[in-house]
Structure 1
């Protein structure tokens, strides 16, 4: 029975993938219109050392932002910063260590950031893991939930006060990089520590649904409080990055030629993210699922307000955070 469930999870995820590839075959990649200069603004990009994250950082730097790359790999981070500074001597870019699988690392990152007394106008929750083998983090959680969801939840909540205070002339923005995989997730999101009948495909899908539920509920909390902060999710499509490195050998053999033909490049995927982060078209726009530069519908489960609220409350208890953002 467990084997059948795992196989069904894989099949569902690949059906979604095929549909997305057909879309990408037919439609040209989104190209952002010219964006206004963003000098004086500060952004944090998690997972900004490579792939989509690195390309997002490049675009924000090009607009004049001060960008802080947050990643668990210090060596990779310093190399990325050096490369970016070589490309542009005016680039305001820093690196800070952040391991989203560790709550203590997230809290320490936030402490160091707040010590710098910087504003924060853009938070891009980009880092992710996918199809990780069965294991647990040092905090005792399943890795997809820990990195893709819990770590970003904690990071966002701890930085909300800075985002609120920075949203004066324009709204500050929280952008979470989601995935169409959320569409095949079940609604069983409560047992964060469970690896029973483990399926890496199902776990990835659940973590992305959880991330989206968090984004929508955060939007409601911010709107009801009248705060000048927006929260949106961006689906970059299927992108040729190292995110697929945990695939099985047969999957990798099939994926590589398809990726060359049909996947978006990281640079193409970053276009929508930069647009949502900096365009005046998204000023004050919140609670959206954005794909190829425009808001689209996400899964019906993602709009379940009871599920959003239950997940929010249980996560706050788990992370020892107040339920209210006031």
Structure 2
């Protein structure tokens, strides 16, 4: 019984303590304001989860900078509508929708193949899509939902598009990969022997694990890119606490308590997206990888995220789970 309590209550407490710390910070600190960014005419970006919230605001801002933005999501009508709205507002760039279900490895592979068949370059990949605190469920491939959507789907997508990113980047004008993590990764624990959390499920623990996995992935992939001399930079971003649909799965009491605080303390989706846009387009980030960015600054991520052995183990295991047979 004690083991069950530890497995369920400790992740919950850690997660909410992280949230409280973020809210206190946001109470006394203004949200990050983007500097003037260089035009991105001719560059191509993919933004996962770009149909709403921070993903939509990211896609919108990149299009305003002149990018051709592909919104990747699993809601066809919503995605097409988002692309039409952005296209109408942003005459400098372009926006279009492509279907992608990150919980399905078949869908991820089909998306990558379809994109590659078009012969387009790829200069920016924003791994933004995510879910939080959903009840226990498995994907069609048998993976825990948070792990599959937040992390493993993005791991597979990134690897399948890596050759295009490498070809599209050059010295002084690198391709960029931006991974959406959060402060909850500080509460994360990677269970290498039970990544699907089947022994004792905790939605809080599963969510925090998926966000820590993204930071580990960020650092390990950047090491690979640097070692191979590839003009690709990889960074993780933390948007803070943002008023989006992610919080719809909070407990009823927590949702009720959130409402009066959200308008005062939470960031808007546009404010939350600012750090992602900064990582994707700012001149100051040219050639700068392996960063954890929060509120416009480089921050120390969780100590576990710098564990090179854990990074390598997670990478190897992820390759096995996705059928990417490489170390």
Conserved? CA contact 2:26–2:265, under 8 Å: yes
Alpha carbons 1:190, 1:314 under 8 Å: kept: no
CA contact (8 A) 1:189 1:206 kept: no
Secondary structure, counterpart of 1:316 in structure 2: helix
- The answer as to whether partners of 1:276 and 1:293 remain within 8 angstroms in 2 is no
> What is the CA distance between 1:89 and its match in structure 2?
4.3
Matched residues in 2 for 1:233 and 1:126: separation?
10
Rounded Cα–Cα distance in structure 2 between residues aligned with 1:89 and 1:28? 31
SS at match of 1:39: coil
- Which residue of structure 1 aligns with residue 161 of structure 2? 159
For residue 315 of structure 1, the aligned residue among 313, 318, 326 is 318
1:1-326 to 2 correspondence within 5 Å? 1=2, 2-168=4-170, 170-324=173-327
Moved more, 22-31 or 81-90: 81-90
1:248-290 CA-to-partner distances (Å, cap 9, x unmatched) read: 1111001111111101101011111111111110000000100
How many Å apart are 1:83 and its aligned residue?
1.5
Q: Measure, in 2, the Cα distance between the counterparts of 1:188 and 1:162.
A: 32
Aligned Cα root-mean-square deviation (Å): 1.1
- Judge which range, 280-289 or 8-17, deviates more: 8-17
Give the Cα separation in 2 of the matches to 1:113 and 1:5.
Answer: 41
Mark the runs of 5 or more structure 1 residues left unpaired by the alignment: none
Q: Would the aligned equivalents of 2:190 and 2:213 in 1 still touch at CA under 8 Å?
A: no
Deviations 1:53-105 (A, max 9, x none): 00001110110000000001111101111211232345411100000000000
Task: Please state how far the C-alpha of 1:222 moved relative to its aligned partner.
Answer: 0.6
1:67–1:131 distance in 2 versus 1, CA, 3 Å: same
Q: For residues 79 and 88 of structure 2, what CA distance do their matches in structure 1 show?
A: 14
- Matched residues in 2 for 1:45 and 1:260: separation? 26
Number of aligned residue pairs: give it.
Answer: 324
The answer to whether the Cα contact below 8 Å between 1:134 and 1:195 also exists between their aligned partners in 2 is no
The answer as to whether partners of 2:84 and 2:95 remain within 8 angstroms in 1 is: no
Q: Following TM superposition, by how much is the alpha carbon of 1:198 offset from its aligned partner in structure 2, in angstroms?
A: 0.8
**Is this contact kept in 2: 1:120–1:163, CA < 8 A?**
yes
Unaligned runs of 5+ in 2: none
The answer on whether the counterparts of 1:171 and 1:283 sit within 8 Å (CA) in structure 2 is yes
Counterpart-to-counterpart distance in 2, 1:171 and 1:84: 25
- Cα distance, 1:193 vs structure 2: 3.4
Mapped to 1, the partners of 2:294 and 2:269 lie a distance apart of: 15
Q: Name which of structure 1's ranges 184-193 and 289-298 shifts more when overlaid on structure 2.
A: 184-193
3-state SS of paired residue (1:96): strand
Secondary structure at the counterpart of residue 197 of structure 1: coil
